[in-house]
Each structure stands twice: as structure tokens, then as C-alpha cells.
Amino acid sequence: MIPRELVRQTLAGHPPPHPPLGELVIDDDLVRELVGLSPDAPLPLAAKRALLRRWGHHLVTVAFSAGWGAAMQPDPQERLDRVAFWAEESDLFVFALVDGPFSLAVRAWSWEETLIRFSRQDPELRAFLADGTIEATAWFQKLANAGAQGVILGDDIAYRRGPYVNPRQLRHTYFPFLTLMTLAAQDAGLAVVFHSDGNLWPVWEDIVQTGVDGIQGLDPYASMSLALARQRSPATLCLWGNLDVGWLASLPRSELIRARVRELLTAVQGTPAILGTSSGLPSGLPLPILDALYQKAPGTTVRGYE
């Protein structure tokens, strides 16, 4: 089974013969470091493709958003070109990472004002999110036309203790629009994965009820557990993440990495899941650590592809 089809079936709720491997994002600067390019050098996508083949990844993500706190955002046309490259020049499942409703609001106003507007169930906020959902619907079709097979709705709605906004208020003003975005993307033929950092337990069921095909993140420092998420989710929901990249940055020994991978996979054995970190790969991670993470771990069914 080619990588693209393996991920497709996993997101459709079918337990895979072996869990696909992949990351939310892989920083371009990390790729430059690992292949020996200077920080200001153009990044050949073929170099990143070589790394993904080395590690046996089954998917790739093209980020159309750097997050609501970023000073600069990616150029949309350049990212559409990246989607087309991966669709045509690889057999990987291609995700596009885009802003969800909360991130759209924060980028339009400020983080503090957005929290106030959500807490007050501001009519102007609802009108803004309705317009944003319509615009996102058109983008989903562009992404599908460019060759994307899935979309990740990125919305950091929580911190270590729980959601930034009271869950009752989110149910009135946030989740209806997340549901509409999910349906619009699925209507365009895209699988939908929701991503957020932080403690999502107070709104876990609300996220599931939006109809997303998967949830990415499962921040271990915010009391998120892959095993508990499996218990609290439908059997068909794909779970992805829960490996802390900060722990990897502490340079654990290879045997500790293998043991952690084994623990994660045991929690989701026989269910749809993707192996990866909770937040993606930043620059500064050494190649031996990443090689140890993605190599076949003793006692697991993880494997790559040639």
C-alpha cells in the first residue's frame, strides 16, 4: 500500500496494518540544518523529500499559516505551488495547515480582544466568523484542486489548564463555525484534522462532534494522554501526536525513544492512529535523534517504505 493510501484509510477510520508516520510541520530551517544548507539559502523541496524518505514518513504538511502570533505569514501562491509539488512528485498524503475560526479572529483583532469578544458572544465576531467560513470554503476547493488530500484546522484554543474561553461560550460562538468549516472541507473531498495545543479535555466531546476525521496534538504537558484520548473517542477517530518535542530536544538515549514509541503505539494498537510529535519538528534537533525516533522500534509494527 502506498503511503498516500495508507494515510487515507487511516483517516477514514480503518485500523492500518502499521501506523503511518508524519509531523504537523517540519521547520524549513531544520531541513536546511540537516542537509547542510546555509540559513538564508533557498530550500529545494527535493531535499525535504529525501529526508522524509529516509525516515519513512507517509505524509507531508504544507503550512499556509505560521500561527496567529507570527509576525509574517507564508505567501499563499508559493504554498499552493508546494502542494502541487508534493502531489505530483511524491506518493505522500498531502495536508494543508490553515487557520481555524479562533486563529482567524486573533489575526483580525488581538488575542486579548478576541477573548473578550468570545466571552461576550459578540454579534460582530459571529458575523466575522461567518464570512471567514465562506472564504475558507473557497480556499478548500483551491487546495483540493492543487492536489491536497487533507486539511489541518490549526486553532490553539487552550493552555495547560484548559481552554482560554469558557467551554459554554465556545459552544455558542466557536464550535458551530468549526463544524461548518469541517463540513465545507469534507465536501471539497478533503479529510479534516483538528489541531490545538493545551488541555482539550473540557471540550473534547465538542471537538469530536464537529465531525473531524482526526485530532492532532495531544499535548503531554497539558495532561493529554493518547491512551485516555483513545478511550474517550469513537473507534473510527484518528489520533495523532502526544510525543513531546521538548523531550526529544533534551537528547534522550535511543533506547528511551524506542520505549516511548512502543508505549504510544500500545495505547492505540488496532485503531486508526498516526505516529508523530504533538507540535512538529523545530530547528535544532540532531539527525541521530530523529533517526532513532522514526526507525523501527523493537516490538512494534512501525515501518517505513522504500
The DSSP secondary structure of 179-202, one letter per residue, reads HHHHHHHHHTT-EEEEE--S--GG
Task: Provide the residue type at 242 as one letter.
Answer: N
Residue 305: the pLDDT is 26
Question: Sheet containing 93-99: which strands, arranged edge to edge?
Answer: 59-63, 93-99, 150-154, 191-195, 214-217, 238-241, 273-274
Average pLDDT of the segment spanning 190-216: 98
Grouping H, G, I as helix, E, B as strand and the rest as coil, residue 247 is helix
Give the distance from CA 187 to its chain's centroid: 20
Long-range CB contacts (within 8 A, 24+) of 285-289: 285/30, 285/245, 285/248, 285/249, 286/251, 287/34, 288/254, 289/248, 289/251, 289/252, 289/257
What is the C-alpha separation between 135 and 215, in angstroms, rounded?
A: 23
Average pLDDT of the segment spanning 112-127: 94
Task: Provide the residue type at 175 as one letter.
Answer: F
What confidence tens digit (pLDDT) does each residue in 206-216 have?
999 999 999 99
What is the C-alpha separation between 180 and 136, in angstroms, rounded?
A: 10
Grouping H, G, I as helix, E, B as strand and the rest as coil, residue 229 is helix
Q: Which residues pair with 192 in a beta bridge?
A: 151
The DSSP secondary structure of 56-95, one letter per residue, reads T--EEEEES---TT-SS---HHHHHHHHHHHHHH--SEEE
Nearest to 241 by CA among 256, 263, 219: 219
Counting residues of the chain whose pLDDT is more than 90, the rounded percentage is: 92
At 122, list the grid cell: 459578540
Task: Provide the residue type at 11 as one letter.
Answer: L
**Which pTM value belongs to this model?**
0.94
Grouping H, G, I as helix, E, B as strand and the rest as coil, residue 278 is coil
What confidence tens digit (pLDDT) does each residue in 146-172 have?
999 999 999 999 999 999 999 999 999
Task: Provide the residue type at 78 as one letter.
Answer: E
Q: Which residues pair with 152 in a beta bridge?
A: 97, 193
Q: Which helix (H) or strand (E) holds 214?
A: strand 214-217
Q: What count of residues does the chain have?
A: 306
Is domain 3-294 annotated with CATH 3.20.20.210?
yes
Q: Is residue 177 scored above 90 in pLDDT?
A: yes
Beta strands, E only, 20-75: 59-63
What is the C-alpha separation between 296 and 291, in angstroms, rounded?
A: 10
Q: Is residue 301 scored above 80 in pLDDT?
A: no
